[in-house]
Amino acid sequence: MNIFDPAIFPILTADGLTNGAVYALLSLALVLVFAVTRVIFVPQGEFVMFGTLTLASLQLGRVPGTLTLLLVLLAISTVLNVVEALRRGDGRSAGISGVSGVALGAGLWALTTTLAAAKAPLLVQVLLTLLLVVPLGPLLYRVVFQPLRNASVLVLLIASVALHLVLVGLGLVFFGPEGSRTPAFAEGNTVLGGVTLSNQSLLVIMVSALLMVGLYYFFDRTLTGKALRATAVNRMGARLVGIRPTAAGSLAFTVAALIGALSGLLIGPSIAVSYDTGFLIGLKGFVGAIIGGLVSYPVAALGALLVGLIESYASFSLSQWKEVIVFTLILPVLLWRSLSSKHHDEEDE
Amino acid sequence: MTPRLILALVAALIALVLPAVLPVFQVTLLTNVAIAALTVVGLVLLTGVAGLTSFGQAAFMGVGAYTTALLTTAYGWNPWLTLPAGMIVTAGVAALLGLATLRMQGHYLPLATIAWGISLYYVFGNSPALGGFTGLRGIPPVSIFGLDLTDPRRFAYLALVFLALGIMAAQFLLSSRVGRAMRALRSGTVVAEAFGANTFSLRVQVFVLSAVFASAAGWLYAHQQRFVNPTPFGLNVGIEYLFMAVLGGAGYVWGGVAGAILITALREVLQNVLPTLLGTGGNYEVIVLGIIIILVLQFARRGLWPLAERWVPAGTPRLLARAITFPHRPDPVPGSFILNVQNAVKQFGGLRAVSEVSFDVKAGEIVGLIGPNGAGKSTMFNLITGVNPATRGSVTLLGRDATRLPARTIHRLGVARTFQHVRLFPELSLLENTMMGGYARGKAGMIASLLHLERREEAALQGAALAQLERVGLRDRAFDQAGNLALGQQRLLEIARALTADPAFLLLDEPAAGLRYGEKGELSALLRRLRDEGVTVLIVEHDMDLVMNLVDRLVVMNGGQELAQGNPQQVRDNPAVREAYLGVDIEEGAA
Amino acid sequence: MTSTSPLLPAPLLKVDDLHVSYGRVEAVQGVSLSVGAGQIVSVIGANGAGKSTLMGAIIGALPSRGRVEYAGRPLAHTPLESRVAAGMTLVPERRELFSSMTVEDNLRLGAYTRRREGAGDLGGVFTRFPRLEERRKQLAGTLSGGEQQMLAIGRALMARPKLLLLDEPSLGLAPLIVREILRIVAELRDTGVTVLLVEQNARAALAISDFGYVLEGGQVRLSGPAADLAHDPAVVASYLGAAK
């Protein structure tokens, strides 16, 4: 059958757009994190995996391993904060950090174990999943990247890859090797212009679009969003108006984790996600981000949509080669960027 | 014999004995270490030395391994022929990747290697000709003089010989002209370009070289296993090679070897210990490895080797016996134009940093370029040295139009410079730093350097560099690390480096900035000696005492424009100059 | 070394034996100075005298040894961002604007530390710099040099600082614009803002100042009431060198 067959083409396109919408979200997170912290955040896809699989665990009435990771990171970052405050001779904030860290940990533990055992309704489980996954963003920033904040992009990238391995390994330990699906948020199909689309796909596209609008509003209209942009544009300038780069970094990672976790919840019903699925999904977001030169949000999002479409068409006619095609696409893109962008260097001036 | 050489010999001796005495299982491990170490040594050249990085070295191993697997099984080639064939194929692929990414900022190469590592894995797995995911079997053993290396003990020796050759070639390269230029790459391209190196080409060459090391390792792997499939060439393995380099110390060849040993051993131990400790069903060693790498980056960013190296003092390096000397550049005709700037304009967006400036420097003159902050002096300096070419107007150097030439070509015309912010290589010796200045006088390329076929040239370079160290008064510290010098001596070292190029024209960018009183004295004494020897100099400097008492002539810039020219007395008495420096009374409102 | 400090007003800023090093270079070598509340104090000196480094250390952008006291409180453990929140702002030599953001966004971000108190005094800044209001939707990077300097000062004023540190506001600007900017700085004093002004343009700076310090080679060479320094021949020598 021909790929342009009217019975096939719209379905492939819809599929591509659905996946592409998720890749686009991820690419936005990657550009944001890089612009604000210079971290090329390879483990972005792991947030996706943790999102889906945390919800899947809760569905089974289990306490997800995510809680363990969260509590360990919370403990480390609390210790780091206390030690740092004591070094400054600031006993009061050391006390506050310590007490709030312990209280937060205890609260999360109690809440999660209670709700997991009670098999709470889906919406509650979704909220709990976000509550468990989103704080991983700022905590990982605090524990892994903040101590490296003066390091080069290359060192940060290596740390990022190391963290990716750790998170994938933990995913296997926590959730086992099997893939899991989560229940669909929307049942049934809708016929649009002669094409039948599942409501779940429509939901993914709509939620992604809404999120993008939300992000646009956040960056364009709120002072906090502008502060993040300002940090990305001129770090020294941002400090001079009182924006702490670590606070901005922490916020960027929070947004990235939120985007990742939501993406995981969105794709959970359509793809069986296992511990190593997140990486490939995240990397496709990367291809989009690189198309945008790691700086342009709209180009990154469009690039990621394109990746989704190409992948979808490729999976029809050349399904074995779809990963090869998607990842080899990066080479002509890089070559084009290399030839079109003016040669610039990472010199200090 | 230096302590380090003794240590290397001991290591070699142990390596020779081990395959004979260890149990077979551990001999295989040793072979695995040697194969990994060979890849990692190549990666050290790329990462620690040249400041680039790749997660795709395992994929390059794969190219080498699959090339030999395919050619020996399907076409009956002799393995000794497939080794170079694999290297050539790998080099071609690496060159392509390098050409696409190495013009851009450093993080695009590693990203491209991630993508390429994944793609290649699927290419191997999905190609029926390559056996798909089950792979290719029946690869013939390597034979030497009719002796098949099927026994793991014999094969271990082959792997060790490869590793030894790899280590030696890498060390040879690092102690050569090309190796020094490679080291310069890590802190950017400006210095290397200023002394005549084509940094883009050099980056591609280093990347290709590291891929060729991996390709040889892949060839070994294929003939050790006699079977290949895609798994050992996947991205995760590529990441592990980089981790070996980071853990051991990416800046050190021996660090790479140490990293390969440590991680291979660690993996063995962890795979045995962790599951019993933590229960089944996990990839625990990957988690531990990742955490270790993050901790190393946070607390010992240069890896473990430099910590170990402190215990083994380096001996005094020996100088090479000199057989040839470089020819001296013909002196320019006294009074002829060395530099001629005509109506130079430099526009940055809406800002005109240099506007219609003209001046010249004649052979044997010392000319000072001065002006208040923001006058455009640095921009002018960059126009002349080719760092940032003029928007309009012309720059003629030694009779050639140099307006559009890149820095490296301008250098080769006979122009050498120093830097406003000292740009030396603190971990290299004074001698090596100085020799970098003579890069353009040598010709030996990467292959000659790997094989140490360039020793005559190297000796001549050493001689030239020592002579210049003598000239600036640092000869007796030639083997010290440049980082241990005080700033004043570092400035002198930069001048020695520039002089090693045997320049017809010397440009000094604020050589007195940050110097103490006594250091300024030493500097101006040296500059006066150079003046008396007839060196032509253009000096940008803020220290008026120093400039006024040194130069023949001054060019004063202000607000991007030429304000005045003349001898020091004329300039000092010029009211426009006074006004530019001291400003105007706002009450008087001069406009 | 001691400096004759202006005695009348209580010092808002006191710097005592400050040293700043970059690796092996000590760019500021034991500087002491004090700035009285409500004054304009200038630090003048030739290129490379250590003026910008001094400013960077006072605001906390560069690590330093010695003592910096603001409103009677030592600042040793106070990070830059908290100094800004406490009412010190620096207009740096490089201006450090958010070039790909609009003039208005730049200004609003200036009030970042005051975000809980409302939007900041945008109107006040526009009254002082009418040109910025005309360009409020324009990207900061597209402004002329003088306008960028105005924006940098305006952004600093949005934080309603008690102490404004101005680093080379005249750099690269035409004399007419320098005059306008310095006039506005002089007016700021009347609204109760204390100013520490670093300038190479000595005469213009001293003309609006109460007190001045001359920096040379990272040390204070001269200090005194601005009117006295303005015609001191030693200042000229510090800039243009002495013939030997």
Q: Is C62 on the interface with A (CB under 8 A)?
A: no
Q: What is the nearest CA distance from A322 to chain C, expressed in angstroms?
A: 38
**Interchain pair A243, C59: CB under 8 A:** no
What per-residue confidence (pLDDT) applies to B587? 44
Q: Which of A258, A259, A227 is nearest to A245 (CA)?
A: A227
Q: For tokens 């830059």, what's the residue?
A: C80
Q: Smallest Cβ distance to C101: which of A229, A239, A244? A: A229
- CA–CA gap between residue A181 and residue A53 (Å, rounded): 8
- Confidence grade of residue C7 (pLDDT, cut at 50, 70, 90): low
What angle in degrees, to the nearest 10, is found between the helix axes of B108-126 and A330-340?
Answer: 150
Chain C residues in contact with B486 by the CB 8 A cut-off are 24
In a domain, A123, yes or no: no
Q: Which residue of A has its CA nearest to C75?
A: A88
Residues 6+ apart with CB under 8 A from B476: none
Q: Is C1 a residue whose pLDDT tops 50?
A: no
Q: What is the mean pLDDT of chain B?
A: 90
Q: Smallest Cβ distance to C85: which of A89, A237, A242? A: A242
Q: With contact defined as beta carbons under 8 Å apart, do B54 and B115 qualify?
A: no
In a domain, A2, yes or no: no
Q: Where are the alpha helices (DSSP H) in B233-386?
A: 235-248, 253-278, 284-299, 305-309, 377-385
Q: Is A300 on the interface with B (CB under 8 A)?
A: no
- CA–CA gap between residue B355 and residue B368 (Å, rounded): 19
Q: What is the nearest CA distance from C189 to chain A, expressed in angstroms?
A: 21
Q: Is A324 on the interface with B (CB under 8 A)?
A: yes
What per-residue confidence (pLDDT) applies to A20? 94
Q: Is B116 a residue whose pLDDT tops 90?
A: no
Instruction: Read off the pLDDT of residues B290-313 as tens digits, 9 standing for 90 and up.
Output: 999 999 999 999 999 988 888 877
**Interchain pair B190, A345: CB under 8 A:** yes
- Confidence grade of residue C3 (pLDDT, cut at 50, 70, 90): very low
Q: What is the nearest CA distance from A342 to chain B, expressed in angstroms?
A: 9
* Lowest-pLDDT choice from A69-78, A164-173, B508-517, B560-569: B508-517
Percent of chain B with pLDDT over 70: 97
Best A152, A155, A345 residue to mutate vs chain B (most B CBs within 10 Å): A345
Its domain, for residue A175, covers 9-54+155-340
What value does the mean pLDDT take over residues B390-408? 94
- Exposure class string for B468-482: b at 16+ Cβ within 10 A, else e: bbebbebeebbeebb
Q: Is C243 a residue whose pLDDT tops 50?
A: no
**Interchain pair C203, B583: CB under 8 A:** yes
Q: Is B590 a residue whose pLDDT tops 50?
A: no
The count of structural domains within chain A is 1
Q: Which residue of A has its CA nearest to C111?
A: A241
**Interchain pair C99, A234: CB under 8 A:** yes
**Interchain pair C61, A90: CB under 8 A:** no
- CA–CA gap between residue C20 and residue B511 (Å, rounded): 20
- Confidence grade of residue C241 (pLDDT, cut at 50, 70, 90): low
- CA–CA gap between residue B418 and residue B510 (Å, rounded): 9
Q: What is the nearest CA distance from B416 to chain C, expressed in angstroms?
A: 24
Helix (H, G, I), strand (E, B) or coil at B335: coil
Q: Is B556 on the interface with C (CB under 8 A)?
A: no
Best B187, B271, B283 residue to mutate vs chain A (most A CBs within 10 Å): B283
**Interchain pair A89, C77: CB under 8 A:** yes
What per-residue confidence (pLDDT) applies to B588? 40
Instruction: Read off the pLDDT of residues A33-51 as tens digits, 9 standing for 90 and up.
Output: 999 999 999 999 999 999 9
Chain C neighbours, 3+ Cβ pairs < 8 A:
A, B
**Interchain pair B548, C182: CB under 8 A:** no
Q: Smallest Cβ distance to C240: which of B351, B572, B586? A: B572
Which is higher by pLDDT, B121 or B281? Answer: B121
Q: What is the mean pLDDT of chain A?
A: 90
Q: Is A343 a residue whose pLDDT tops 50?
A: no
**Interchain pair A159, B111: CB under 8 A:** no
Chain C residues in contact with A86 by the CB 8 A cut-off are none
Instruction: Read off the pLDDT of residues C76-117 as tens digits, 9 standing for 90 and up.
Output: 888 999 999 999 999 998 899 999 999 999 999 999 998 887
Q: Smallest Cβ distance to B297: which of A158, A169, A339? A: A158
Q: What is the nearest CA distance from C175 to chain B, expressed in angstroms?
A: 6
Best B582, B585, B588 residue to mutate vs chain C (most C CBs within 10 Å): B582
Q: How far apart are the first and last CA of chain A?
A: 59
Sign of the C-alpha dihedral, residues B210, B213, B219, B225?
negative
Q: What angle do CA B221, B227, B231 make, to 5 degrees?
A: 75
Chain B neighbours, 3+ Cβ pairs < 8 A:
A, C
What per-residue confidence (pLDDT) applies to A349? 30
- Confidence grade of residue C231 (pLDDT, cut at 50, 70, 90): confident
From the options 1.10.3470, 1.10.10, 1.10.287, 1.20.58, give the CATH code of B3-309: 1.10.3470
- CA–CA gap between residue A309 and residue B249 (Å, rounded): 43
Interface of A with B in 35-94 (CB under 8 A): 40, 42
Report the number of secondary-structure helices (H) and strands (E) in chain A. Answer: 15, 2
Helix (H, G, I), strand (E, B) or coil at B308: helix
Chain B residues in contact with A344 by the CB 8 A cut-off are 105
Fold match, B3-309 / B337-414+503-590: no
Chain C residues in contact with A244 by the CB 8 A cut-off are 79, 81
Q: What is the nearest CA distance from C155 to chain A, expressed in angstroms?
A: 8
Helix (H, G, I), strand (E, B) or coil at B50: coil
In a domain, A89, yes or no: no
Most distant CA pair in chain B: distance in Å? Answer: 98
Q: Is A226 on the interface with C (CB under 8 A)?
A: yes
Q: What topology is assigned to B337-414+503-590 in CATH?
A: Rossmann fold (3.40.50)
- Confidence grade of residue B255 (pLDDT, cut at 50, 70, 90): very high
In a domain, A88, yes or no: no
- CA–CA gap between residue A124 and residue A187 (Å, rounded): 19
Instruction: Read off the pLDDT of residues B271-289 as tens digits, 9 standing for 90 and up.
Output: 888 777 766 656 788 899 9
What amino acid occupies position C217? G
Q: Is A344 a residue whose pLDDT tops 80?
A: no
Instruction: Read off the pLDDT of residues A128-144 as tens digits, 9 standing for 90 and up.
Output: 999 999 999 999 999 99
Q: For tokens 């083994």, what's the residue?
A: B312
Q: Is A348 a residue whose pLDDT tops 70?
A: no
What per-residue confidence (pLDDT) applies to C8? 57
**Interchain pair B283, A173: CB under 8 A:** yes
Best B52, B97, B236, B297 residue to mutate vs chain A (most A CBs within 10 Å): B297
Q: Which residue of C has its CA nearest to B426?
A: C23
What value does the mean pLDDT take over residues A191-208? 85
* Lowest-pLDDT choice from A75-84, A297-306, B57-66, C226-235: C226-235
What per-residue confidence (pLDDT) applies to C4? 47
Q: Which residue of C has its CA nearest to A235?
A: C96
Instruction: Read off the pLDDT of residues B130-145 as tens digits, 9 standing for 90 and up.
Output: 999 999 999 999 998 8
Q: What is the mean pLDDT of chain C?
A: 87
Percent of chain A with pLDDT over 90: 67
Q: For tokens 């910025």, what's the residue?
A: C132
What per-residue confidence (pLDDT) applies to B319? 87
What per-residue confidence (pLDDT) applies to A322? 83
Domain ranges of chain B: 3-309, 337-414+503-590
Q: Is A1 on the interface with C (CB under 8 A)?
A: no
Q: Is A119 a residue whose pLDDT tops 60?
A: yes
Q: With contact defined as beta carbons under 8 Å apart, do C189 and C195 qualify?
A: yes
**Interchain pair A90, C100: CB under 8 A:** no
DSSP of chain C, one letter per residue? -------SSPEEEEEEEEEEEETTEEEEEEEEEEEETT-EEEEE--TTSSHHHHHHHHHTSS--EEEEEETTEE-TT--HHHHHHTTEEEE-TT----TTSBHHHHHHHHTGGGGGG-S--HHHHHHH-HHHHHTTTSBGGGS-HHHHHHHHHHHHHTT--SEEEEE-TTTT--HHHHHHHHHHHHHHHHTT-EEEEEES-HHHHHHH-SEEEEEETTEEEEEEEHHHHTT-HHHHHHHH----
Size of interface B-C (CB pairs under 8 A): 92
Q: Smallest Cβ distance to C176: which of B510, B545, B591? A: B591
What per-residue confidence (pLDDT) applies to C105? 95
Q: What is the nearest CA distance from B282 to chain A, expressed in angstroms?
A: 5
Which is higher by pLDDT, B349 or B247? Answer: B247
**Interchain pair B581, C46: CB under 8 A:** yes
In a domain, A60, yes or no: no
- Confidence grade of residue A345 (pLDDT, cut at 50, 70, 90): very low
**Interchain pair A165, B55: CB under 8 A:** no
The residues with which C44 forms a beta bridge, in sequence order, are: C199, C214
